[in-house]
Structure 1
């Protein structure tokens, strides 16, 4: 979707400027043509040489570079989209009020393409009425704001103001450029995806969980949306998210929460992908106060949680496609095929923790797709986004089988 797209990236003075290097690398890898503009303040955080090397283009900082006073006009007409990321509180204020005191702002005021901006600042700045008014003005111009994230900020505080992660921005650009494409294979379909871990409380401060980050499930939700589906993502506790406009998120915590939400959404879904790492057991009794450390040993009595995939498989309607995941450490294929049959799945995605670069928290994955019709497809080690797209292609084949 980004192959050949001309993307003009504006980088302003924020600690989040370091993420511009990752963003440029991802965009170039997707086949986009990237030109970078920097404010003088941004050069204090990351060098133009770094971004020039990654983008394979000169980086613009001053209006008079290369002896041209009109480079801002040419750049403003070159791009398919202008993206300011990070957009500092100062740059947002200048954009909103038409101030033109550096090359980035001169190009912004000359741009004939759509403009997107990804704010990055401390929470107090983000919540200030002046910033809210400036953002509202930019939105009134028809620009699009990428949502800010909540997390640890440069000040050391925790709150809103973090710039969207580069992977999420790339996903947003996918949805931006794909809007209006009516030839998508899953147009008109509804998809349900579960992702991430669950947390099963022991007491008010402790819980049982696992190492799932949610990356694979989020990538699947985005790939389904790219293919045209309207996606409901039921997401366990993770700091990750998605900006894809075709994905709606329901945040849950426990296995029971995830079961309830998936059960609510499943009847209307054409495609169901259970990618979450749901706890198999939970504490039978949850303490209402913090358990104090006193004895040498402590025993927890556990009870089974509801198997969500099995429950949905038992209620599967004609025409629904149900996909499950099987993360194994031994007898991988045997266990995966057993899940395929026992849970009434149409396809199971086999993940082995014995494969380097696969499994929890990696940006890559190596899987084998096992279908009810006997088809087996082993995918090589790929980025989770590429794995997700291959899984979606297999789902499309199942729909037409």
Structure 2
């Protein structure tokens, strides 16, 4: 089961594999897709088979593998595979493959399939930094995006040999995340290019002594999903987080622990931001007194109580900073409200009141409780905006909710 639930089961996915050293990572992607219930057809290039043998791809997918249009001619595979696919993913997409796809070449089974596919196409580039940054490659990427194909930003890190930089293939889980989103009906427009987006995620830890802290159950999954999709949609993303989850491709991570650290780093990053999405679950209170040594039961230092003091209201501080010009006046501010209904009101009523009180542009309201939302792969709720709009998002993958949030923000910035 995946974060996309049963929605991907039975979907037909073509996984193309380009001829680069990162071809071995395609094996992990194929396994993730097949284990989620997808029917996977693998189409490697001839060069890809120099790195990973056809037997490996056949064993992982359960389907025959070929590279040329003359295999199984009666079934017309070079047309049929693309026609019946629900998604085409190419990982790795080499500089050569980008070039051939951009000009519409059809000189092997994979490029022929690309021309016949009318489903979403997701390309995950992998190459040396110099090749990725070359004007010809960037022109090809722009052409492909203009044609409606989705081109992931490459990750940064170790390449072949001793080289490091942009051009590393994203991890299979990062590619699968976008694949499942597209299969689940989500969209991935390249509409945040040139935007600076700050996302906060995870819970905060408020120190009691050197070994103990006050915290909450937040995993950081929702904030990481927002950061991953914002990056895939072209934004320059800064993720301020306490979470140990893997950092999404092309995202800059800033580690924090406490609410005060989160406030400091978020305000600093927001000073040049176009969008700030505060998805972190921030502790409302922290211990008033922090012990320099471990508090031991039965000792003279055993506390009879732990006095608490309020933490800063980071969302309110962002709104105030925008009002005095410390955050750009055009910056869109998005908050989250994890609510439970009580005798004074429903979850939605509490959310509306909080939006009015905070003064942000959007508030994402989630109903939380034991065994819901925190740490889970799904989420749902309402996206409220300061102009009176309200979008109900039924419980689905956190990636789909992230897409809906970004859709709402982009709609606000383009109207």
Secondary structure of the structure 2 residue equivalent to 1:191: strand
Structure 1 unaligned spans of 5+ = 61-65, 67-77, 84-112, 118-133, 148-163, 175-182
Are residues 277 and 266 of structure 1, via their aligned partners in 2, closer, same or farther at CA, if it must alter by over 3 Å?
A: same
**Are the equivalent residues in 2 in contact too, given 1:172–1:244 (CA < 8 A)?**
no
Q: 1:251 aligned to 252, 255, 262, which one?
A: 255
1:151-162 equivalence runs, <5 A: none
Q: Once the 2 structures are TM-superposed, how far is the Cα of residue 363 of structure 1 from its aligned partner?
A: 0.7
Give the SS at the match of 1:258: helix
In 2, Cα distance between the equivalents of 1:11 and 1:184?
A: 25
Once the two structures are TM-superposed, the CA of residue 214 in structure 1 deviates from its matched residue by 0.5
Contact 2:351 2:363 in 1 (8 A): yes
Alpha-carbon RMSD across the aligned residues, in angstroms, is: 4.1
The residue that corresponds to 2:113 in the other structure is none
Matched, 1:168 2:178: no
Q: Distance in 2 between matches of 1:400 and 1:280?
A: 34
Matched, 1:212 2:218: yes
Alignment-derived partner of residue 355 in structure 2: 340
> In the alignment, is residue 201 of structure 1 matched against residue 215 of structure 2?
no
Asked if structure 2 preserves the Cα contact closer than 8 Å seen for 1:52 and 1:59, the reply is: no
Identify unmatched segments of 5+ residues in structure 2.
1-11, 67-71, 73-87, 94-123, 129-157, 181-188, 323-327
Of the three residues 311, 316, 328, the one matched with 1:310 is 316
Matched position secondary structure for 1:327: strand
- Among 51, 54, 61, the alignment partner of 1:52 is 61
Partner of 2:393: 379
- Cα 1:305–1:202 shift into 2, 3 Å: same
Structure 1 residue 244, shift from structure 2 partner: 1.6
When structure 1 is superposed on structure 2, of 221-230 and 205-214 the one drifting more is 221-230
- The alignment's TM-score, normalised by the length of structure 2, stands at 0.61
- Paired residues in the alignment total 299
**Residues 59 and 11 of structure 1: CA distance in aligned 2, closer, same or farther (over 3 Å):** farther
Alignment partner, residue 159 of structure 1:
none
The reply on whether 1:362 has 2:376 as its aligned counterpart is: yes
Conserved? CA contact 1:203–1:290, under 8 Å:
yes
2:228 aligned with 1:222? yes
The alpha-carbon distance between structure 1 residues 79 and 241, as it changes in their structure 2 partners (threshold 3 A), is closer
CA apart distance, 1:144: 4.7
**Distance across 1 between alignment mates of 2:166 and 2:257:** 34
The answer to whether the aligner puts 1:350 opposite 2:371 as a matched pair is no
Q: 1:116 to 1:351 in 2, by over 3 A?
A: farther
Corresponding residue number in structure 2 for 1:137 = 161
* Deviation (angstroms), 1:340: 0.9
Q: Distance in 2 between matches of 1:231 and 1:135?
A: 22
> What TM-score results when the alignment is normalised by the length of structure 1?
0.63
Picking from 263, 266, 272, the partner of 1:268 is 272
For residues 362-381 of structure 1, give each alpha carbon's deviation from its aligned partner in whole angstroms, at most 9, with x where no partner exists: 11111211111111111112
TM alignment of 1:65-214, pairs within 5 A: 80-82=90-92, 136-137=160-161, 144-145=167-168, 166-170=172-176, 184-214=190-220
Distance in 2 of aligned mates of 1:139 and 1:355: 46
Aligned-partner SS, 1:248: strand
